[in-house]
């Protein structure tokens, strides 16, 4: 599904060129859940933009769905640490936003609005937001906004979901709740996910493969397969193999931070 | 209890100000020619209500005409400037330079071009009030969250989509907020022009009354201006609340 081939990205700043990533290679299969972890400033967010075609690599090639990426992808759903809900739209209208932009939904939006609303309501119900569709984002808690943000990222049934630390601003309980929400959606809809995070437990709980990135200029220095049976229960986080995995990842990152 | 006081406060303060003014005039026996007492001004307003109404109407419509021009032109230019960084960079110095010219200095030129009358007043009102509208609309557009833009671009949205779905709705609170400032500035513009070169309007009336040493009438004209200014401000403040209430409420809510 996604292949990054020896990507280098440099961008000019006032203090000369900064190399964000160098020789970055990454492979994600269709339907796979990939997590990317690394020290802060290692170019994790740059990786997001590279994959979605929002920035072009200086060197190397990005391949998504067997096509070289030359501009914005048009098929990806994205969610960020900040829910980024539009405050003048109700939750329902926020979730419907991608359908007003992505074809083929866009041209049929007027005729098929009723069925789209039904779809959005079903999606909102699946993340525990039934009955909230006519509220405004600012009437809801951060966790609820983030649930709605996930719905917005998935309403057009994208083949690819890109998540940039989506749960980082939430409290521990809400975060674990949303891990399960995301797990269930992924089990059900089978899209490809790239999750950028600095939470190693989050990566280990959700992902099939965890890619560890080096300090800037970033590249993937290690890929770890996560073998726990799926769908996983939160209890898996308290088993010795899970703790060992998180510990191992932690040491990897500690090493790249000091080197 | 606090709510009633909150609501009455503006009235209490206004009446208090007039009471102090009145008391000071009587206590220190201030000459009417220097500073007429409120009671004298009210008397003048009643006596000269006809010319006040007639000239007040002229000022009101020239102001609103200039303001209307400023809104359409300011909105269009604001959208253009907020749309592209290049246009922004190119136009900004020009606009700053233009805005720093005292508009009084332009009135004589306008008189040469259009003659004495309402046209220079309308144009002065327009010139002085369009700038805050442009700046506010452009700011609203230029400060779209980059992440929101990423979300939309990753869906294949073009610049126009982003502007229509996010930029313009987002700029609306800035736009309606700027209308309150622009309408008060428009009054300044039209009255300045009327004072210099006109044969109608409150500015003209006050100049005439001043040269005839009718100080109570000058102050009555000022009072009429204040009333028009406050009324128009209230109209646009109410419009702002109605159109973009979400912006006020969303910044008040704890969820942010």
Render pLDDT for B166-204 as a digit per residue (tens, 0 to 9).
989 989 989 998 999 999 999 999 999 999 888 889 999
Please give the tally of structural domains in chain B: 1
Burial label, B99 (beta-carbon count in 10 A; 0-12, 13-18, 19+): middle
- Domain annotation covers residue B255: no
The answer to the question of residue B221 being in a domain is: yes
N-terminal to C-terminal alpha carbon distance within chain B: 30
B246–A80 CB contact, under 8 Å: no
Are A84 and B147 an interchain contact pair (Cβ–Cβ within 8 Å)? yes
Q: Tell me if B25 is assigned to some domain.
A: no
Give yes or no for A174 touching B (CB within 8 A).
no
> What pLDDT was estimated at residue B231?
94
Q: Which two tokens mark B206?
A: 């006050």
* Residues of chain B contacting A, Cβ within 8 Å: 145, 147-148, 150-157, 161, 165-166, 169-170, 172, 244, 246-247, 249-250, 253, 255-256
What is the Cα–Cα distance from B228 to B56, expressed in whole angstroms? 8
Count CB pairs under 8 A between chains A and B.
82
User: What was the pLDDT predicted at A206?
Assistant: 92
∠ CA A208-A210-A211, rounded to 5°? 140
Average pLDDT, integer, range A106-119: 86
B253: nearest CB among A101, A103, A138 = A138
DSSP annotation of B165 reads: I
Residues 6+ apart with CB under 8 A from A42: A213, A214, A215, A216, A218, A256
Tokens for A154, please give them: 């998935």
Picking from A138, A152, A153, A165 by the largest number of B CB atoms within 10 A of its own CB, the best residue to mutate is A138
- pLDDT at residue B249 in the model: 64
The residues, ordered by sequence, that sit 6+ positions from B189 with a Cβ below 8 Å of its Cβ are B63, B66, B103, B121, B124, B125, B126, B127, B128, B129
Q: What is the DSSP code (8-state) at residue A233? A: P
Instruction: With CB atoms and an 8 Å threshold, state whether A137 touches B154.
Output: no
- DSSP E strands, chain A: 2-13, 16-28, 33-37, 59-64, 67-68, 76-80, 160-164, 192-196, 209-213, 220-225
Which is it for strands A2-13 and A59-64: parallel, antiparallel or unpaired?
Answer: antiparallel
pLDDT recorded at residue B256: 36
Residues of A in Cβ contact (< 8 Å) with B169: 86, 88
pLDDT at B255: 39
Q: Is the pLDDT of residue B248 over 80?
A: no
Work out the number of other CB atoms within 10 angstroms of the CB of residue A25: 14
| Domain containing residue B134 | 45-244
Checking if the pLDDT of B22 tops 60, the result is yes
Q: How far is B250 from chain A (nearest CA, A)?
A: 5
In a domain, B1, yes or no: no
pLDDT in tens, B108-119: 999 999 988 889
Distance CA B78, CA B71 (A): 10
3-state secondary structure A155-222: CCCCCEEEEECCCCCCCHHHHHHHHHHHHHHHHHHCCEEEEECCCHHHHHHHCCEEEEECCCCECEEE
Residue B141 covered by a domain: yes
Task: Give the mean pLDDT of B236-252.
Answer: 77
For residue A76, is pLDDT > 50? Answer: yes
Region A41-65: mean pLDDT is 86
pLDDT in tens, B121-132: 999 999 999 999
Q: For residue B75, is it within any domain?
A: yes
Cβ-proximal residues to A96 (8 Å cutoff; 6+ apart), any chain: A116, A117, A120, A155
Considering chain B, what is the average pLDDT of its residues? 88
The nearest CA of chain B is from the CA of A50 a distance in Å of: 11
Question: CATH number, domain at B53?
Answer: 1.10.3720.10
Interface ipTM: 0.80
A98 CB within 8 Å of a chain B CB: yes
- The single residue listed with the structure tokens 């004298």 is B40
Ordered domains of chain A (ranges, CATH): 1-70+194-259 (3.40.50.300)
| A115-130 mean pLDDT | 87
* Domain assignment of residue B54, yes or no: yes
Are the Cβ atoms of B165 and A156 closer than 8 angstroms?
no
* Size (chain B), residues: 256
**Distance in angstroms (rounded) separating the CA atoms of residues B82 and A40:** 33
Q: Which residue among B154, B246, B253 sits closest to A52, beta carbon to beta carbon?
A: B154
For residue B256, being part of any structural domain is answered with no
Q: B157: which chain A residues are within 8 Å (Cβ-Cβ)?
A: 101
Q: What SS3 state is found at B219?
A: helix
Partners of residue A84 in chain B, C-beta under 8 Å: 145, 147-148, 151
Q: What is the pLDDT of residue B250?
A: 61
Angle A27-A42-A183 from CA coordinates, rounded to 5°: 55
Neighbours of A21 (CB within 10 A): 26
Report whether the peptide linkage leading into residue A231 is cis, meaning its omega lies within 30 degrees of zero: yes
pLDDT band at B81 (very low <50, low <70, confident <90, very high): confident
| Mean pLDDT within A93-101 | 90
Scan residues 200-259 of A and list those with Cβ closer than 8 Å to B.
Answer: none
Span B206-215, pLDDT tens digits: 999 999 989 9
A101 touches chain B (CB under 8 A): yes
- Those of residues 40-69 in A touching chain B at CB distance below 8 A are 49, 52-54
Q: How far apart are CA B250 and CA A66, in angstroms?
A: 43
Instruction: Tell me what pLDDT residue B225 has.
Output: 94
């Amino acid at each position: 599904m996604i292949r990054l081939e020896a990507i280098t990205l440099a961008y000019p700043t006032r203090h000369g060129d900064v190399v964000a990533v160098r020789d970055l290679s990454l492979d994600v299969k269709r339907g796979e859940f990939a997590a990317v972890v690394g020290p802060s400033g290692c170019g994790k967010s740059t990786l997001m933009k590279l994959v979605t075609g929002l920035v072009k690599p200086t060197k190397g090639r990005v391949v998504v769905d067997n096509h070289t990426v030359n501009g914005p992808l048009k098929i990806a759903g994205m969610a960020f640490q900040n829910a980024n809900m539009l405050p003048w739209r109700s939750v329902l209208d926020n979730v419907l936003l991608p359908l007003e932009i992505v074809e083929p939904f866009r041209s049929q939006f007027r005729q098929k609005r009723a069925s789209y609303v039904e779809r959005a309501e079903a999606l909102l119900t699946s993340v525990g937001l039934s009955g909230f569709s006519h509220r405004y984002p600012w009437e809801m808690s951060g966790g609820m906004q983030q649930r709605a943000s996930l719905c917005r990222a998935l309403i057009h049934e994208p083949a690819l979901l890109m998540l940039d630390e989506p749960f980082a601003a939430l409290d521990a309980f809400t975060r674990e709740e949303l891990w399960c929400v995301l797990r269930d959606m992924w089990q059900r809809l089978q899209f490809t996910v790239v999750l950028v995070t600095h939470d190693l437990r989050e990566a280990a709980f959700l992902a099939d493969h965890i890619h560890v990135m080096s300090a800037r200029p970033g590249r993937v220095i290690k890929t770890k397969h996560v073998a726990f049976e799926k769908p996983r229960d939160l209890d898996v986080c308290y088993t010795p193999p899970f703790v060992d995995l998180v510990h191992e990842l932690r040491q990897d990152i500690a090493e790249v931070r000091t080197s | 209890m606090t709510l009633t006081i909150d609501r009455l406060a503006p009235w209490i303060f206004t009446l208090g100000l007039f009471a102090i003014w009145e008391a000071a005039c009587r206590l220190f026996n201030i000459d009417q020619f220097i500073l007429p007492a409120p009671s004298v001004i009210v008397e003048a307003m009643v006596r000269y209500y006809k010319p006040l109404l007639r000239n007040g109407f002229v000022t009101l419509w020239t102001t609103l005409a200039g303001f209307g021009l400023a809104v359409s032109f300011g909105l269009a230019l604001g959208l253009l400037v907020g749309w592209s960084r290049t246009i922004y960079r190119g136009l900004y110095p020009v606009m700053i330079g233009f805005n720093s010219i005292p508009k009084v200095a332009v009135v004589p030129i306008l008189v040469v071009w259009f003659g004495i009358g309402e046209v220079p007043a309308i144009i002065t009102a327009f010139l002085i009030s369009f700038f805050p509208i442009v700046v506010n609309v452009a700011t609203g557009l230029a400060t779209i969250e980059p992440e929101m833009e990423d979300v939309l671009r990753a869906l294949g949205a073009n610049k126009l989509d982003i502007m229509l779905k996010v930029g313009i709705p987002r700029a609306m609170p800035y736009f309606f907020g700027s209308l309150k400032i622009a309408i008060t500035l428009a009054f300044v513009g039209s009255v300045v022009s009327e004072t210099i070169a006109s044969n109608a309007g409150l500015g003209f009336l006050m100049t005439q009354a001043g040269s005839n040493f009718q100080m109570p009438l000058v102050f009555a004209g000022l009072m009429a201006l204040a009333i028009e200014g406050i009324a128009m401000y209230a109209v646009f403040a109410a419009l702002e609340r109605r159109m973009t209430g979400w912006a006020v409420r969303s910044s008040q809510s704890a969820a942010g």
